[in-house]
Amino acid sequence: MPNANEFVIERAYDAPVSLVYKMWTEREQLNQWWGPPGWENEVVSLDLRPGGVFLYSMKAPDGSFMYGKFVYREIVKNEKLIFVDSFCDKDGNVLRHPMANKWPLEILNTLIFTEANGRTLLTLKNIAINASVEEVKTFVEGFSSLNQGWSGTLKQLEDSLKAAGN
């Protein structure tokens, strides 16, 4: 039974799972597509291991900066990535969402990579963790915004996969 507090989005890509996974786990690849469309994004650091951190900067079209980070919990090559996503400062200290002060500080992300006939199905699940009732409510009310944001980011992934020859 689906969890009403969990955001889920799926995308199918005409690329092998090994390449789609690589796009999520290598600095050079993440620099090509990660982040909101229209923003300049850069990998600050990437330590791909349980407990490791992916720290990234995001420069808005107006020139302002935001930072985000993943703290990896589980990594199964070509199958699954589980990480906690947060907004943060340039040093990785967790901060409130810059435009939504009731947004949860931590979102648990589960990425599942499934290959069939040379195509990859990517399933992304988000759920607020260590959150108050009010923060969970804000998160659930933000599903349409999450859908819009993730759709744009995952379209950039698709474009990068096509540019890579897939």
CATH code, 79: 3.30.530.20
Q: Please count the structural domains in the chain.
A: 1
Q: What is the pLDDT of residue 1?
A: 56
pLDDT over threshold 90, residue 123: yes
- Which residues lie closer than 8 Å to 102 by C-beta, 6 or more apart? 134, 135, 138
Q: Which two tokens stand for residue 165?
A: 């020859």
Residue 1 lies in a domain: no
Mean pLDDT for the stretch of residues 110-120 = 94
DSSP-assigned letter for residue 63: S
pLDDT over threshold 90, residue 164: no
Coil/strand/helix, residue 23: helix
If you search the block for the tokens 């992304």, which residue do you land on? 124
State the Cα–Cα distance between residues 45 and 25, nearest whole angstrom. Answer: 12
Residue 78 lies in a domain: yes
Residue 26 lies in a domain: yes
Residue 109 lies in a domain: yes
pLDDT over threshold 80, residue 115: yes
| CA distances for 36 relative to 3, 10, 64, 68, 77, angstroms | 26, 17, 14, 12, 25
Residue 96 lies in a domain: yes
Q: What is the pLDDT of residue 78?
A: 97
> For the whole model, what pTM was predicted?
0.93
Residue 68 lies in a domain: yes
The boundaries of the domain holding residue 13 are: 6-163
In contact, 32 and 25? CB cutoff 8 Å: no
State the Cα–Cα distance between residues 44 and 31, nearest whole angstrom. Answer: 10
Going by pLDDT thresholds of 50, 70 and 90, the confidence category of residue 131 is very high
